[in-house]
A and B are shown apart, each in its own frame.
Chain A
Amino acid sequence: MKISVKGLAENLLFAANIFIVFLLGFEGSITVPYWLQPLGRMHPMVLHFPIVILILAMFLEFFRFNETNARETLYQKFTSYLLLAGALFSALTVVMGLFLSLEEGYSGKILQWHKWTGVSIVFIASIIYWCRNSTCYKLYAARAGAILTVLCIVVAGHYGATLTHGDNFVLESVTAPEKIPVVPIAEAKVFDHVVMSIFTQKCLSCHNMDKAKGGLMMDDVQSLLKGGKTGKLFVPGRPEISLLLERIHLPLDEKKHMPPKDKAQLTNEEIALLNLWIKNNADLERKVVDLPLDDSLRLLATTYLTPAESASEEYEFAAADESAIKKLNNNYRIVSPLAKESPALAVNIYNGSSFKSKMLDELTSVRKQIVSLNLSRIPVSNDDLKIIARFENLRRLNLNFTGVSDAGLKQLLVLKHLEVLSLSGTKVSSAFVKQVGKMSSLKQVSLWNTRISEIEIQQLQKTAHGVALIAGFKDDGKHPIKLNQPRVSTEAAVFRNSISLQIKHPINGVQIRYTTDGSEPDSLKSLIYNKEILLKENTTLKARAYKAGWYGSDVITSNFYRSIYQPDSILFLLPADEQYRGAGAKTLTDKQLGEYDVNSGKWIGFRQNNMEAMLFFKQPVMMQSVTLNMLRQIPNYIFPPTGVEIWGGSNKNNLRLLSIIKPKAGKEGDEDSSIKVEAKFKPQQISCIKIVAKNLKKLPVWHPGKGEPAWVFVDEIFLN
């Protein structure tokens, strides 16, 4: 049985050899029927069998004549079977491969190499199989045959892989991508640098000399003009009937759409470029800059040629030692790489008071790497600039508000890479600025707040080629703005005998004018504030700030009240409302006014009952007036009291009514305000006072809360 299988296999191998010769001979006139195509396409799968089997067989064949092996029958037989199997499989693979090669899209040098080495494998393996038992087949023949076969396998395998995976497939990820030289726009040609670049990126992987799918090759002008099997690629001047664009514009799912669905598609810009190029007669020689300035093709081509993202600047110098950088860093000197894997360093120095020239000197170890140096407000002297002048790759230098002047700055003219130089607030003069053109890369110099006037800067700008001189904001006095209000320094609005006030304004050199009689202050007649104001009476203080070149500020108004006596204790006879009790009864004499906010904790409110308070003095005091500071907020139900009674005497059981006041009743539309209810009486010795302030029990009919009781709020009592 075994023998018959072997015989069959040998016959099959023989037949396969004949068939291969036939296929090779009549390649040109054969078309593979569609049902055989799958067989051809299985070539990439089947080819792995002969590779492995043959390599193993050749290994055994190589050592076949070794003494021990030569005597081993099993060894000999096994090698023989293995060789047969390998040859058969390789023959099968070659047949399939030949079928596949007849399909569309395969041609070129690589294919030829692959084909012929592949076929050689079959022939050599077959020859070895049939000759290996003849007497003339000796050690050297066996070894030479084995080596030759393996060599063919390697070569065929290599080219085969190149066909399917493309050139440099294995090492692609390791070898650095080839850098495409950037063409200056002035020299770029529309065809060579734009159109061809698009083809190379998006089409060439399938339409090249080796793998001309559809018979189309796009490697060079000649083959491009020739077109492919379907016809010429384009009709100059007629994009609408050009095959190239037709294929590009077909729906993505269409089989004939190009590039195929799974490949990188053309961008809209690229399509527009190809369209415009064909429209412009598919010119092959024209330069981009020869096109009219506003020509769409020129504009698009310029954008296409400009590197998309101004990729990070490439530096010529190597990176500094990492440990050196680390050593230079401390709390006041930060040295850090511009970006990951960038050799360039940025240096910031802070805190002028701890600065020493040594801090710059130490940077010399990384002087080539420093591209940015910030010394703003650091007391850098002209001598220090000598060190900085050696930082030859410096791009940005910030010397704002440092002590440098022309004498030192001159040394910086050697910095050929410097782009941005900030000199605001320094003693730089126009003499230096005239020379900045010597720094060939310089783009910007800021000169704000220097001795150089705006007009001078405008003059200098005319001769500063390509360097922007920044003047900044200098007030010309033509558009004055208003000063903000001054502030009164004390919060206490109530004083005992006298109060000393300060009026402050944040802006230096401001003159403050004030009045104490309630009149509006002006810049001519009103008193000029100086150090402090001493008040002894109830006073309305009004103040305004003035300064040359500014509009006067708004008026600030503050009221101050005198209250000579401070009771030793206060007692409410009726409870205050739970929500508005402040800090208890003593809130009434805490010298704090509550403004208009009843929730400030400085107001005490009554609604269910009148306010009734008793004030006690350990020593009798001479008193002639009692003033209640109360609140009126009509919409919030807060009304003036309907009546205030002041009772006084030597103790709480011995009180006489001293005064009754009926304040003006709250009316619709009354503004929110604080109201003073003052009761005056004959001066007399008093140890105890009772104050009663009656709230309005029923709100008037015009009020939204008609019929309900109104609030009274008291925040302070002045006793004089």
Chain B
Amino acid sequence: MEKDFLEHGLNYNRRRFLSRLSLGLGSVALGSLLIPDLFTGGMDDASLPPGIPDFAPKAKRVIYLFQNGAPSQLESFDYKPKLREMMGQELPPSIRAGQRLTGMTANQASFPLVGSYYDFKQYGDSRAWISDLFPYTAKVVDDICIIRSMHTEAINHDPALTFFQTGAQQGNRPSMGAWLSYGLGSENKNLPAFTVLLSRGKGNGQGVYSKLWTNGFLDSTHQGVQFSSGEDPVLYLKDPEGLSRFERRKMLDNLAALNDLSYKEFGDPEINAKVQQYEMAYRMQTAVPEITDLSSEPDDIIKLYGSDCLVPGTFAANCLLARKLSENGVRFVQLYHQGWDQHGNLPQEMAGQAKDVDQASAALITDLKQRGLLDETLVIWGGEFGRTNYSQGKLVRDNYGRDHHPRCFSIWMAGGGIKPGMVYGESDEFGYNVIKDPVHVHDFQATVLHQLGLNHEKLTFKHLGRRYRLTDVSGKVVKDILT
């Protein structure tokens, strides 16, 4: 940091100017050799400040209903009758094929296969199999695209979550929402482009940390803004008693002037980011109460989302809030619902978790649709990995657990140019390996960016001498699921 300040002082001296000039000309010449289309416009895109899509987008906004803890695909969207038939039998080593296991089951003497406690039925025109735990999702099955062939690289929650959100397991990279904010800018200048809403079910939970919605090395204006789950979603937004709007404005103007002085002295861009954040907070003071006031929602909406949708901090309330935020131009609304980590007592806990989210998730689809917004809003539902087809711990018909499983799991996507009423990909009859159309996490990320009009290979940011992207060095858009 100190070095940056010194550098800033040097910006204007003659010797430096000349040395820069020669260096600059040299690098332009070299650059035009190394980067063939430097002057033809192709590469310009990367160096221009982004904010406009590369091509016309199908989706303008994303609502990501993250099911934190990893819901079991075998009790939700991946129907495997074979597992019921083979209940209690050993997982064939040929299927496991040396897959590493977590420390929680690696030492288990046996790996008894376990079928879903819950029944599955087929729904909609797509005849997709959905478990009885998700009756509301089943009703909107013709609006969603179920992907049963997801796979990831991480095997534990935190790295897997971080991988899903930032494209790397280690953290410190910008989150998907931050990338979108960086790539597309905000649709509504009175709200942050990237907001985060948390809720928690009664099931065994895993923490979420603010590093999941970090801006990483991007400008801090792209950081996710967490709305609190209390009655006041944004804390300290109200002016203190006795402070008028006029005085607040005056205070901010003076503060901005001071910050400007400071910027002129040190040249730290974060100072400008700070000023912008103050300004946005000022505008949020009028915009947020309007959005977070759920009391004017008609009864139909409350029945649609379920009665919990007016209880702050529930998943249903967050879904309703997410719709309102998205409707008001928030690019990326990230929900996390905790409590999906069923290492034991799965049948009972999963029923509770599903009840928490099923109605509201489906309601969100219906609600967006009836406002004519679904085709430009991408909704994503899913966890960070899947769960094993064998039982963790003792297997009883109505009480078993499932360990983490990265090789194959299910998510669904809807709206935003994703084919409705589709089931994509397939797992083997044990639900253990993907046998058709695998979708890697980076493929998924590339697809999300693509739907928003961004080329995942072009959306880069240079940091520590290297261009970074959300999809790291891989990722292919899953074209088969696009309209």
Complex Cα–Cα for A229 and B56 (A): 49
B121 contacts the other chain (Cβ, under 8 Å)?
no
Are A336 and B52 in contact (CB-based, < 8 A)? yes
- A470 vs B374: C-alpha distance in the bound complex, in angstroms? 12
Interface centre among A331, A340, A342, A482, by most B CB within 10 Å? A340
Give complex CA distance A481, B370 in Å: 21
Please encode chain B, from 31 to 73, with 1 for each CB lying within 8 Å of some chain A CB and 0 for all others.
0000000000000010000011111110010000000000000
CB atoms of B56 and A448 under 8 A apart: no
Q: How far is the CA of A473 from the CA of B359 in the complex (A)?
A: 13
- Chain B residues, CB < 8 A from A470: 369-370, 372
Query: Is A575 close to B, CB under 8 A?
Result: no
Q: How far is the CA of A475 from the CA of B370 in the complex (A)?
A: 14
CA distance A507 to B311 in the complex (A): 9
Contact A473 B307 (CB under 8 A): no
Are A484 and B375 closer than 8 Å at their CB atoms? no
CA distance A473 to B189 in the complex (A): 31
Is B304 at the interface (CB under 8 A from chain A)?
Answer: yes
Cβ of B367 < 8 Å from any Cβ of A?
A: yes
The reply to whether B306 and A472 contact each other, CB–CB distance below 8 Å, is no
Q: Is the CB of B479 within 8 A of A309?
A: yes
Pick the contact of A400: B366, B371, B453 (CB < 8 A). Answer: B371
Contact string against A for B residues 170-208, beta-carbon threshold 8 Å, 1 for contact and 0 otherwise: 000000000000000101111000000000000000000
Residues from chain A with a CB closer than 8 A to the CB of B287 are 350-351
0 or 1 for each of B320-335: is its CB under 8 Å from A? (1 = yes) = 0000000111000000
Asked if B283 CB lies within 8 Å of chain A CBs, one says yes
Judged by a CB distance under 8 angstroms, whether B298 is at the interface is yes
Q: Is A506 an interface residue (CB 8 A)?
A: yes
- The residue from A313, A339, A351, A420 contacting B286, defined by CB atoms under 8 A apart: A351
Establish whether residues B188 and A334, one from each chain, have CB atoms under 8 Å apart when the complex forms: yes
Contact check, A398 vs B300: say whether CB atoms are below 8 A apart.
Answer: no
Docked-complex contact B302 and A507, CB < 8 angstroms: yes
B274 interface hit (Cβ, 8 Å)? no
A339 touches B453 (CB 8 A): yes
Contact for A472 among B57, B187, B366, CB less than 8 A: B366
Interface residue from A338, A348, A472, A475 paired with B303 (Cβ < 8 Å): A475
B298 x A351 contact (CB < 8 A): no
Asked if A403 is at the interface of the complex by the 8 Å CB criterion, the answer is no
Indicate if the CB atoms of B190 and A313 lie closer than 8 Å.
no
A570 CB-CB contact with B under 8 Å: no
Partner of B370, one of A337, A350, A446: A446
Do B329 and A350 touch (CB < 8 A)? Answer: yes
Neighbouring B residues of A506 by C-beta, 8 Å: 294-295, 310-311
A639 to B415, CA, bound (A): 57
B187–A508 touching, CB < 8 Å: no
Residues A475 and B299 in contact in the complex (CB < 8 Å), given A334-B329, A336-B52: yes
Closest to A447 in B: B370
Q: Does B308 contact A (CB under 8 A)?
A: yes
Task: Mark each residue of chain A from 459 to 474: 1 if its CB lies under 8 Å from any CB of chain B, else 0.
Answer: 0000000000011111
Minimum CB–CB distance from B189 to chain A (whole Å) comes to 5
Query: Are A350 and B188 in contact, with the CB atoms below 8 A?
Result: yes
Give the distance in Å from the alpha carbon of A423 to the alpha carbon of B291 in the complex. Answer: 20
- Contact between chains at B56 and A472 (CB < 8 Å): no
- A553, B311: Cα distance in complex, Å: 14
With A449-B298, A507-B307 as given contacts, are A339 and B372 in contact (CB-CB < 8 Å)? no
Residues of chain A lying within 8 A (CB to CB) of residue B453: 339
Tell me whether B54 and A339 are in contact (CB under 8 A): yes
Cβ–Cβ < 8 Å partners of B376 in chain A: 396
Interface status of A137 (Cβ within 8 A of chain B): no
**A338-B53, A449-B300, A473-B367 given; A420·B375 CB < 8 A:** yes
Q: How far is the CB of B289 from chain A (nearest CB, A)?
A: 11
A510 and chain B: residue at smallest CB distance = B307
> Which chain A residues in 309-351 approach chain B with CB under 8 Å?
309, 312-313, 331-332, 334, 336-340, 342, 344, 346, 348, 350-351
List 30 A-B pairs, Cβ < 8 Å.
A313-B56, A338-B57, A339-B56, A339-B453, A340-B53, A344-B56, A348-B329, A351-B287, A351-B290, A376-B371, A396-B376, A398-B373, A420-B372, A421-B372, A422-B372, A424-B371, A446-B371, A448-B370, A448-B371, A449-B298, A470-B370, A470-B372, A471-B370, A473-B303, A473-B363, A481-B303, A484-B311, A506-B310, A506-B311, A507-B310
Which residues of B line the A interface, CB within 8 A? Answer: 45, 51-57, 60, 185, 187-190, 283, 286-287, 290, 294-295, 298-300, 302-304, 306-308, 310-311, 327-329, 363, 366-367, 369-373, 375-376, 453, 479
A-B pairs, 4 with minimum CB distance: A472-B370, A506-B310, A422-B372, A448-B370
